[in-house]
Structure 1
């Protein structure tokens, strides 16, 4: 039986562990902290292929969306996934032009994208202030949604353990053993050793650090992001809303999660997350321009994430050059891709088959 150590228990590591265990591989998951405690737990978690060219990357993300939807047939209930699509609008001339161009491309690729009237938007999201939209160009993407990443990771790991996998939290990998150019196992900060024929590097923003332990590299260009959270508010927002003022989605128990790229630019990896951050307070103010019912609210919490992005912006999935038996799975689109990558990685490692959809995204493109 193949012995596999999966390093990292976020949405990617949990998905890979489940499918490997299901395929009959002996799986040990080693997580440095807690399940979903890295970037997975501080993600906007929008499942989409909305603006992800070129075509190969778009198609990979569509496969991820479909794989999430297919889990309902397998699990019966998927309380971690929330559909309903997303809505977006553009008000100024430049943004309108960009949106029209994107929608034209997406429709040509058979991706769900529908123009809405203000009245149709009001039917979907009655709490949105018409004054925030006016005569904007409005689009509905019906197949999109959002994920509860930690709930998802927990469910996948529970399924993995039922299939025989083992999970160790607070087990940071500090050494990858390599003999004759081949991985033979790992060691943790606590001094425990685990033999392995294959290590699967799902360490997210720490993926390059783990690869270095094996004498390899996965060049990353991580970005820092800010999320702000409202307290429970009286709104019936049902889906992802990407307004020019603020991006938002429900986050359970009446709370909203808020994000905007220009707010991301105000924080760094060392910034202490606090609802008192001016950018967090400004996100709530801007959200209130769209949802007047939350006017006067202050943020209840803020979180800061470092997003694991390979150096060229695209996923890196496959054997890492320079060492046999070290397989990497690192991507900025982890939430969208997790369910598909779990199956695809297991097919390659346990089934010995090459998955064509992964070919453009091999770590070998970075060299050694």
Structure 2
């Protein structure tokens, strides 16, 4: 970590989801005068429709794996910071595959995770049945089952609410909702202020863009980053009399408890049928597909139905990896966008505070800087001249 120098500054954070609230909390904690500007409601974007799985499995190459592991550790540190974490559940994950074509990748991932020191072990069906009696172990067939004891999930909306409340009460941060930022105002190549759609102007020394799936948008002179975002679909059941505590991951199916007896269902193949967010019916075809797949593993769901089904934009920077760092064109404009926001948010918040407020540069983040996109675009443009 390289120390540049410590300066006091005003920071505007755009977006109040799990990444924005983390950045606001840590920047306020570091001594900045923080204002959060949110176009809608707190954590009302992607954070509100997320499977919210904290993990580092399959996260390659190594720098991306390490960043996700740091995020998992930062969740535990944050729990100590608050004395409790009602937004965080850490009860482990079961993972198995039934499609022969995916087995080589499955075994290679297990080997790689073990080699890198990640917590994973093989587990037999008898032990699964003892730990989670609601699971129909026949769904496993003869497939090997892996268990990840350190994985968990987050309620991103609760997380954001608690962190923003602490930022306000402990360090005087301001949170303003219903204010859409339309322009980052600059002078001499440096951020000076942001303007909102209602004409308000907020003078600032730095802007942290945490707008997720909207971070490709240009804000006045400030350009965004290229995205290749996808659509996510989640179904939630009514309360069911289950004792399930762990997450379940099978082929392209993901299941977990969602509080008050509800079960959250996700299936990648359903995501892939959408090109934009849509309003779906809990008695529609997508809901039926998700419920049928989940019921093979949790038979109690067969007569449950779906209470709600939602779609959202899942933010992916163009190359699929986290984008965090100073934008190359304007001093004081910092980007923080990632598909792995739930896992790495508390660590990313610390990185933002260190780099923006304390002047401490995280060398391990060099892989993830926004500059990589603009270098690639410049090279492609030059090749066509």
Shared fold, TM over 0.5: yes
Deviations 1:34-72 (A, max 9, x none): 111010110000000011100000000000000001112
User: Equivalent residue of 1:253, what SS?
Assistant: coil
Find the counterpart in structure 1 of residue 304 from structure 2: 297
Asked if the contact 1:245–1:287 (Cα under 8 Å) also holds between the matched residues in 2, the reply is no
Partner of 1:254: 261
Query: Match for residue 172 of structure 1?
Result: 180
Q: Does 1:5 align with 2:12?
A: yes
Q: Find the counterpart in structure 2 of residue 125 from structure 1.
A: 132
Q: Is the 8 A contact 1:348 1:355 kept in 2?
A: yes
Q: Summarize the Cα distance change of 1:126–1:205 in structure 2 as closer, same or farther, 3 Å threshold.
A: same
Q: CA deviation at 1:4?
A: 0.7
Aligned mates of 1:119, 1:214 — CA distance in 2: 60
Deviation, 1:206, is: 0.8
SS across alignment from 1:216: coil
Contact kept, 8 Å, 1:183 with 1:214, in 2: the verdict is no
Q: Post-superposition shift, 1:176?
A: 1.1
Q: How does 1:306-321 map to 2 (within 5 A)?
A: 306-321=313-328
Superposition map of 1:215-230 within 5 A: 215-230=222-237
Equivalent in the alignment of 1:345: 352
1:155 paired with 2:169, answer no
Residue 378 (structure 2) aligns with: none
Provide the residue aligned with 1:187 in structure 2.
195
Partner of 2:3: none
Is the 1:49–1:61 contact (alpha carbons within 8 Å) kept by the matching residues of 2? yes
The alpha carbon displacement at 1:22 in A equals 0.7
Deviation at 1:270, TM superposition (A): 4.2
Deviation, structure 1 residue 268: 3.3
Deviations for 1:334-361, whole angstroms, at most 9, x for unmatched residues? 0001010111110111110111221110
Match of 1:137 in 2: 144
Alignment RMSD, CA only?
Answer: 1.2
* Structure 2: distance between partners of 1:245 and 1:184: 46
Cα distance in 1 for partners of 2:323, 2:240 equals: 39
Distance 2:92 2:167 in 1: 29
User: Could you tell me which residue of structure 2 aligns to residue 81 of structure 1?
Assistant: 88
- Cα distance in 1, alignment partners of residues 48 and 165 from structure 2: 17
Q: For residues 200-211 of structure 1, what are the structure 2 equivalents within 5 Å?
A: 200-209=208-217, 211=218
CA distance in 2, matches of 1:298, 1:267: 22
Give the distance between the partners of 2:63 and 2:17, measured in 1 at CA: 24
Q: Which segments of 5 or more consecutive residues in structure 1 lack a partner in the other structure? A: none
Is the 8 Å Cα contact of residues 41 and 177 (structure 2) preserved in structure 1? yes
TM-score with structure 2 setting the length: 0.93
Separation (CA, whole Å) in 2 of partners of 1:33 and 1:217: 20
Counterpart-to-counterpart distance in 2, 1:91 and 1:275: 28
Q: Which runs of 4+ in 1 moved over 3 A?
A: none
* Equivalent residue runs for 1:44-83 within 5 Å: 44-83=51-90
Q: Secondary structure of the residue that 2:96 maps to in structure 1?
A: strand
Deviation at 1:92, TM superposition (A): 3.5
Q: Deviations over 1:78-118 (max 9, x none)?
A: 01000011101112433332211100000000000100011
Distance in 1, matches of 2:151 and 2:257, equals 14
Superposed, which structure 2 residues align to 1:226-237 within 5 Å? 226-237=233-244
Q: Aligned equivalents of 2:22 and 2:161: distance in 1?
A: 10
On the 8 A contact 1:266/1:279 being kept in 2, the answer is no
Q: Say which SS state the counterpart of residue 60 (structure 1) adopts.
A: helix
Preserved contact between residue 98 and residue 140 of structure 2 (Cα < 8 Å): yes
| Alpha-carbon distance in 2 for matches of 1:90, 1:270 | 29
Q: For residue 331 of structure 2, what is the aligned residue in structure 1?
A: 324
Q: Supply the distance in 2 between the matched residues of 1:245 and 1:50 (Cα, whole angstroms).
A: 15
**In 1, Cα distance between equivalents of 2:321 and 2:294:** 30
Task: Name stretches of at least 5 consecutive residues in structure 2 with no aligned partner.
Answer: 1-7, 376-385
- 3-state SS of 1:110 partner: coil
1:112-169 deviation digits (Å, cap 9, x = unpaired):
0100011111122111112111211100011110000000001110111121110000
